[in-house]
A and B are shown apart, each in its own frame.
Chain A
Amino acid sequence: MSLASFAAQLLNGLASASSLFLVAAGLTLIFGVTRIVNFAHGSFYMLGAYVAYTVGSAAGAYGNSPTAFWWAALAAGAAAALVGALIEVLLLKRLYGAPELLQLTATFGVVLIVRDIALALWGPEDRIGPRVRGLDGALNLAGRAISEYDVFLLVLGPIVLVALTLLMRGTRFGVVVRAASENRVLAGALGIDQARLFTAVFALGTFLAGLAGALTLPREPATLSMDLGVIADAFVVTVLGGLGSIPGAFVAAVMIGLTKALCIAAGDVTIGPVTFAMPRLTLVIEFIVMAMVLLVRPAGLFGRRDAAPPTPAAAEERALVTRPTAAHAAAASALVGGGALLPFLGDEYALILTVDILIAALFTASLRLIAGTGGLVSFGHAAYFGIGAYASALAATHGYPFGAALALAPIAAAVAAAAFGVLCARLSGIYLAMLTLAFAQIVWSVALQWDAVTGGSNGITGVWPSGWLAERTHYFHFVLAVSGAGLAALVVVAFTPFGYALRGGRDSALRAGASGIDVAARRIKAIAVGGAFAGLAGGLYAFAKGGTSPEALSIPRSVDALVMMLLGGQATLFGPLLGAGVFTWLQDTLARATDYWRGAVGVVIVLIVSVFPHGIGGALAASWARLRGSR
């Protein structure tokens, strides 16, 4: 590569970095103050792009007017801010007292709703914005053309950085925001109106997202998948830079932009006998960069370790605190017994759906052990599920009998989980969660690209249970037994000395350590045990579906687990089963009822979350307790 082309690639990388920074700046602002992991940030970005397209088109193809594009961009930012503020006031405000992850679930519901609204308003076709008048040409730099608009973005990034820094350092608003980021309680005690502040910050953050969406329109068409397309990158930049740090987000965006550009520029790289296509790495390079940085600096580049102290969970939302009684055991037995009779109803599909629900419940319960009992939030739990699914599927296609192939699933997942646990034991909170996401994405990209072994994007097919289990009813009973045992084991383990020690480490790592508990070791063990059960669920899934594909490892599956866990209620014994049952059944039913089923699922999630902040299980338990009390 010549020096000139290297320089040109640096510029490309910086232009992309600027546009990434704009999105991430809003996200990091919002998180810094409100501690909300705003999954819907990408939706505001998408909304911005569509609004800019519409306003621009209405203004008569803004290619014709020199200022129309800029008005369109501002309108897009304003529209996003308006919607953002509305969502904050109407939905999120109700949830600040609830478990932190519940807000994530709520914003996930918002993602689903916004996407379907966009489909209804703008239709399915990609919308390409015209080029910007005055910036539609190319500049010649040492014989290489670079788009004027890219140069504009490249300059805009630092300008926004400086503007935001001035806002944070030089205005009262900035001082208040920083105070609230440092210590919410103290800021409140000093008379800062948190409700107004949160709304303002949320509006500002979503304004930046909308603006970023609008500014990306000359480079990239508005599509219905740009919301989730950008959110993972934005999270990575935010976390890599250190949560709440705007300069950090800028540096992180530059790092990622440059690394990507250089991977693309490098092309095929030959080291000895091995030729590796570097551009293929662009699929996950941001996650690899983030993982490497977090392993060395557990709070990101500019984050402070104590910036986000874990808030101890309120009593009613701590997972599995009350020891199950004989009544619980009887109810569980009745459930399994009743379930075993299901085949006699004669509805084959009910069996298929129940198998899916049982597998999802086991998957969710395994997450609850890690995230609920262990307090270690995971955004990448699908990694273990997928590893289990692939292990079983690969073993089955290589001729191993069903039992051995299924047994391999929890083993492979536990090994991977333990290895991951050892690497990340020193991280906590949202940083740990992001590292789990990075791990899952890396595993996903390996599954996607290692064609010879994993079948690439097509995955593996032709994996079905053999022998007497080939009969649908038999496999149903098998899954019922295995999942039932797994669910019971995951409850029991929370009340062993190991479980108590784990909880001790969650509620106060310092005190637990002082009383002689090796907190890190317990955490690694929890991740390994949870991973094993997730892997078992994955193995059952592979045999139920006839194989697996990279979707088993994808971000949406990890999110599903979190949503199911919170829908069901973390603290309730039967929470995972309830959450998995409601979520799976809802998707299945709504998908048949309406074309806009995804939005409908979103609405239901938002409703459940705002009406029952402790999940369906929590609500049922509360009304049960009232019922008993009134007797």
Chain B
Amino acid sequence: MPRFAFVLLTALTACAAAPGLSAQTIKLGEINEYKQFPAFLEPYRKGMELAVDEVNAGGGVLGRKLEIVSRDDNGVPGDAVRAAEELLTRERVALLMGTFASNVGLAVADLAKRRQALFIAAEPLTDKLVWANGNRYTFRLRASTYMQTAMLVPDALKAGKRRWAIVYPNYEYGQAATASFKQQMQAQQAAGIEFVEQAVPLGKIEPGAVVQALIDAKPDAIFSSLFGADLARFVREGELRGLFKDRPVFNLLGGEPEYLDPLKEEAPTGWFVTGYPWYAIDTPEHRRFRDDYQKKFGDYPRLGSVVGYSAVKTAAAALQRAGSTDTEKLVDAMRDLRVDTPFGAVIYRALDHQSTMGAYVGRTAVRDGKGVMVDWRYADGKDYLPPDDVVRRLRPTD
């Protein structure tokens, strides 16, 4: 039936005819899992908006305004690849940025290599992104799983505990955090050390049974990489059953407002966490960011806001330094690029394309019915990376 052919061809040509936008702007192609991880990515989107406004208010970059073209990839790597292709071929974006989940980040990184486009991975934490699967075109902003684990290790060593219970979401991030923690602890703690593990399905922890099993394992200390709803359930059940009594607890990402704030007055106290105490950081660059953000959105910034803001700032800095939207020039500009972020200046290392953005390390407490971080310090990312020769061995040459 030729009718079908007609319908299909009309459909295809209709989408081919999307009007092009003003050639005056520089387009940044952004891809993310907005529907999968809204708690992190809605603030992230606002952070990007703030940065774009700032850059454009200052006259833009290379005399042109920035424009973000955003795509939702549905959390599926294949869809992210399609979105990236669309951004590159139809929108003619200058570079790709974004992504949250590790599998999506790795898929886009691989496409960036194949299509020779710059990719600024904002959030994916997997070590593979810049090490085992590293490539010339991919750079990463956030402190990786390895780095954030390393930030907690000094305090974990100080605790001097022998038997550790580890609980983690059963996918790459949790597995990598667990492996990194075990390896770093074993390498550095003189006295014997042993581990018991609980892998929980992401988003579907059975808190009663898991907490009970951990109590029965009689650990001296606990290391967790849970987040989101799993963390909330684990905290409630663990408090109730006394799991955390007299045991130091370490929780990767546990201080991020995205995951700490929903707990309200039930937030755990005294846990060692990485996170973002937005209410307490008083550096001039952070104060300015926080004030601008609150003025624009009437809401306080989350960690996602900082990541979105800094990712756009990175793109702007790279464009400025390259003096062009040419990919190869951009990639060269990214190497050892210095970017001012709300956390201070960070450098994208030429060695492995990892930025030195750090994280805040501190302990949790409850103030006025809200979970907060106290006794915190800024852990600069550059201090928590393996020696250069080790990194070189981990990473294929470009």
Pairwise interchain contact B264-A345, C-beta atoms closer than 8 A: no
CA distance A584 to B379 in the complex (A): 45
- Write the chain B residue with the least CB distance to A542: B78
The 8 Å CB contact of B1, one of A5, A328, A451, A589, is A328
Instruction: Please tell me if the beta carbons of A229 and B110 are within 8 angstroms of each other in the complex.
Output: no
Expressed in whole angstroms, the minimum distance between the Cβ of B236 and any Cβ of chain A is 8
The verdict on A138 contacting chain B, using a C-beta distance below 8 Å, is yes
A545 contacts across to B, CB distance below 8 A: 77-78, 81-82, 107
B106 contacts the other chain (CB 8 A): yes
**Given known contacts A279-B198, A334-B5, A458-B106, A125 and B39 CB-to-CB distance under 8 angstroms:** yes
Tell whether, in the assembled complex, residue A461 and residue B106 are in contact, meaning their CB atoms are under 8 Å apart: yes
B90–A280 CB distance below 8 A = no
**Closest Cβ–Cβ distance, residue A96 to chain B (whole Å):** 29
List chain A residues, Cβ under 8 A from B233: 219-221
Q: Is the CB of B201 within 8 A of A283?
A: yes
Mark contacts of B48-89 with chain A using CB atoms, 8 A cut-off: 1 yes-contact digit, 0 otherwise.
Answer: 000000000000000000000001101111100111011001
Query: Cα distance A331–B213 when bound, in Å?
Result: 64
Query: Which of B5, B114, B133, B237 is the most central at the interface, judged by chain A CB atoms within 10 Å of its CB?
Result: B5
In the complex, chain A residues whose CB is within 8 Å of the CB of B8 = 335, 577-578, 581
* Bound: A437/B17 CA distance, A: 40
Contacts of A279 in B (CB 8 A): 197-200, 210, 213
Asked whether, in the complex, the Cβ of B197 is within 8 Å of the Cβ of A458, the reply is: no
Query: Taking the complex as formed, is A456 at the interface, i.e. its CB lies under 8 A from any CB of chain B?
Result: yes
Looking at B170-178, B334-342, B359-367, B387-395, the stretch in contact with chain A turns out to be B170-178
Q: Is there an interface contact between B1 and A267, defined as CB atoms closer than 8 Å?
A: no
- Judged by a CB distance under 8 angstroms, whether A182 is at the interface is no
Residue-wise, chain A 328-342 has the 8 Å CB interface mask toward B (1 for contact) of 100100110010001
> Using a CB-CB cutoff of 8 Å, which residues 195-227 of chain B contact chain A?
196-201, 203-204, 206-210, 212-213, 215-217
Please tell me if A552 contacts chain B, counting CB pairs below 8 Å. Answer: yes
Instruction: Say whether A265 faces chain B, with CB atoms less than 8 Å apart.
Output: yes
Q: Closest residue to B76 on the A side, CB-wise?
A: A551
Closest to B104 in A: A549
Contact of A280 among B78, B86, B89, B199 (CB under 8 A): B199
The interface residues of chain A lying within 8 Å CB-to-CB of B133 are 461-462
Chain B residues near A462: list those with CB within 8 A.
Answer: 110, 133
> A261–B206 contact, CB under 8 A?
yes
Q: Distance (Å) between the CB of A55 and the closest chain B CB? A: 18
Tell me which residues across on chain B come within 8 A of A581, comparing CB atoms.
8, 11
Binary contact readout A428-467 vs B (1 if CB under 8 angstroms, 0 otherwise): 0000000000000000000011010000111101101000
Q: Is the CB of B78 within 8 A of A552?
A: yes
Q: Please, which residue of chain A has its CB at the minimum distance from the CB of B40?
A: A124
When distances are taken between beta carbons in the complex, the residues of chain A under 8 Å from B199 are: 277, 279-280, 282
> Contact at A261–B209, with CB atoms within 8 Å?
yes
Write 5 A-B pairs (CB below 8 A) sorted by A numbering.
A16-B209, A147-B208, A219-B207, A267-B213, A587-B74
* Additional A-B contact list (18), CB under 8 Å, known A124-B39, A349-B89: A126-B229, A128-B264, A147-B240, A147-B241, A224-B38, A225-B36, A264-B209, A283-B201, A327-B1, A334-B5, A348-B89, A352-B85, A352-B86, A458-B126, A545-B78, A545-B81, A548-B78, A595-B34
Point out residues on B near A: beta carbons under 8 Å.
Answer: 1-5, 7-9, 11-13, 15-16, 34-36, 38-39, 41-42, 71-72, 74-78, 81-83, 85-86, 89-90, 102-103, 106-107, 109-111, 114, 126, 128, 133, 170-172, 175, 196-201, 203-204, 206-210, 212-213, 215-217, 228-229, 232-233, 236-237, 240-242, 258, 261-264, 266
